[in-house]
Amino acid sequence: MIDADSDCDVRACTPDDLAALAAFCIEHAAYERMPLAVPPDAERLRRALFAAAPRLHAWLAWQGARPLGYATASREFSTWNARDYLHMDCLYVRADARGLGIGAALLREVAATARRLGLAELQWQTPDWNAGAIRFYRRHGAVASAKQRFVLALP
């Protein structure tokens, strides 16, 4: 169990954090009941995060040397609004660390990055069965959009 009074450090992912990030991706997919067609690979994550023009941003929340949660986001373009936005692909906090403000701290980091990039909007999705996440996002001012997410695997 995490001590609510303990310090939690949220920071951008470093190359040394790639193994923890990959492990979180697997844990998060299992939590969301999503099979991974291709498991995360530290080298692919490295290329996306640390290229000259990074495609991905990632943050991890730590208590000492123990990772508690993570968030990832990518810049995307909205055709309807004809402007860029930040798409938060993942926000996940381990079960024993939920309710302690860690998710809020990660969400603040993602939103701050969107602002630094000059973006006016942050978008994401969560499974419709994840009532806890839905309450969390609404408490932080998010408004749900009624859409279904589809995936088409390309051989």
10-residue mean pLDDT profile of the chain (155 residues): values are 62 96 92 84 93 96 94 94 93 93 94 94 83 80 74 67
Residue 91 in domain: yes
Q: What is the CATH number of the domain that holds 69?
A: 3.40.630.30
The pLDDT value given to residue 1:
39
Residue 109 in domain: yes
d(CA 81, CA 56): 22
Q: Report the domain count for the chain.
A: 1
The pLDDT value given to residue 153:
65
Residue 154 in domain: no
Q: What is the DSSP string of 111-137?
A: HHHHHHTT-S-EE----TT-HHHHHHH
Residue 1 in domain: no
What's the domain range around 107?
9-139
Residue 29 in domain: yes
Residue 49 in domain: yes
The pLDDT value given to residue 4:
47
> Of the candidates 69, 25, 65, 28, which has an alpha carbon nearest to the alpha carbon of residue 45?
25
Q: Strand order of the sheet with strand 83-93?
A: 9-12, 57-63, 66-78, 83-93, 122-123
Rounded to 5°, angle at Cα 142 from 153 and 100: 95
**CB distance 56 to 74 below 8 Å:** yes
Residues 6+ apart with CB under 8 A from 122: 73, 85, 86, 87, 88, 110, 111, 114
Residue 104 in domain: yes
Residue 146 in domain: no
